[in-house]
Amino acid sequence: MEALSVAEIPEGPEWQYEPKWDGFRCLIFRDGDRVTLQSKAGRPLNRYFPEIVEAALALDHARFVIDGELVVPDGRRLSFDDLLQRIHPAASRVKLLAASTPALFIAFDLLADGAGMLVRQPLDERRRRLERFARQTFGRSSRFRLSPATTRLADARQWLKRAGTTLDGIVAKRRDLDYRSGTRDGMCKIKNFRSADCVVGGFRFNEGRRVVGSLLLGLYDEEGQLDHVGFTSSIRETDKKALTGRLKPLIGPPGFTGAKPGGPSRWSTERSAAWTPLKPKLVVEVCYDHFSGRRFRHGTRLMRWRPDKAPRQCTFDQVEQVKGNLMSLLN
């Protein structure tokens, strides 16, 4: 179940509000002695978070499916940088980090328990069962926490004020709806800024240098075509050489299968407009000011890489579109 990015907190008795944690979305499946951690993109995460696998096996319930967030605490804050370090190819490095910067799993939905599947139950019932599950099992675990939830708008607004410091924003969920896997129906996310996950479909070199200068961003349209929607050039100078090396193995056509970057214009030369296509493997989260006409109207700010996201999840429906007659504001 995914969230639609909106600008304002939805109001009404049908909504439940929760903090939005700064981590990796994760499903935990346990069936007896088998535990599977699954990313939002459907990829296995067991090898990267062995301490969570071990903690899940230690819970009293032998069969369950929990939806939640993997986070790494750093004092009273959460460290997304430390979390990214866990996605490492070397098992020895993962083992060291699991001991030095152990992760937590923050649970916010229960999809199955010993009595059976709960996905067709409304959120109110799933939340009641999750709270009972947490009371019975989480108290003896140092790696599991229950995410708070409220129906009070005042509480949600207070949480939103902490976004960017201890939280990533808030989430609003319809209390009367079932769990709608793969859709953005019934769940919204609200931040103090607007961001989007985009595919890196290509790049441009720095003018006069053979290092990456900007990343070209793409979103998948309704027909499954990758459209070019803008760029980000907020790459730290010290990172450009290493990033260029990271991109080289991914160079290859077509880059964008739908709308493509434009050619030279009055603002650019043929050389500065040239771009290099990449295989659609990498996802970045960018912060933006304005999105219209199916593209970012200004340059975006690179926030972070998202190895936990599948490129195919980067679609236009995550970007809130302005509706209505904007000219009426001038009347």
Residue 324 scores a pLDDT above 50: no
**Do 139 and 280 fall into the same domain?**
no
**Do 221 and 202 fall into the same domain?**
yes
Nearest-angstrom CA–CA distance, 137 and 60: 6
Query: What's the pLDDT at 331?
Result: 30
Domain final residue, candidates 164, 192, 220:
192
Domain final residue, candidates 128, 146, 164:
146
**Do 57 and 154 fall into the same domain?**
no
Nearest-angstrom CA–CA distance, 214 and 209: 12
* 63 domain-assigned: yes
Q: What is the pLDDT of residues 4-55, one digit of tens each?
A: 888 889 999 999 999 999 899 999 999 999 999 999 888 999 999 999 999 9
**Do 135 and 157 fall into the same domain?**
no
- Say whether 187 sits in a helix, a strand or coil: strand
* 327 domain-assigned: no
Residue 205 scores a pLDDT above 90: yes
Averaged pLDDT, 139-144: 91
**Do 124 and 162 fall into the same domain?**
no
At 264, the amino acid letter reads P
Confidence of residue 265 (pLDDT cuts 50, 70, 90): very low
- What is the C-alpha end-to-end distance of the chain, expressed in Å? 41
Residue 323 scores a pLDDT above 50: no
Query: What's the pLDDT at 322?
Result: 40
* 96 domain-assigned: yes
Q: Give me the CATH number covering residue 105.
A: 3.30.470.30
**Do 183 and 126 fall into the same domain?**
no
Query: What's the pLDDT at 40?
Result: 87
Query: What's the pLDDT at 320?
Result: 56
**Do 160 and 61 fall into the same domain?**
no
What positions carry a catalytic annotation?
Answer: 20
Domain final residue, candidates 130, 165, 192:
192
Domain around 273 = 194-318
For residue 147, how far is the Cα from the chain centroid?
17
**Do 38 and 79 fall into the same domain?**
yes
What are the C-alpha distances in Å from 287 to residues 72, 91, 198, 242? 23, 33, 11, 23
**Do 241 and 252 fall into the same domain?**
yes
User: Which pTM does this prediction carry?
Assistant: 0.70
Query: What's the pLDDT at 328?
Result: 32
Q: What is the pLDDT of residues 94-134, one digit of tens each?
A: 999 999 999 999 999 999 998 999 999 999 999 999 999 99
Of all helices (H) and strands (E), which one includes residue 286?
strand 283-288
Q: What is the pLDDT of residues 225-260, one digit of tens each?
A: 999 999 999 999 999 999 999 999 999 988 999 999
Query: What's the pLDDT at 193?
Result: 77
Of 125-139, 261-275, 295-309, the range with the lowest mean pLDDT is 261-275
Query: What's the pLDDT at 298?
Result: 73
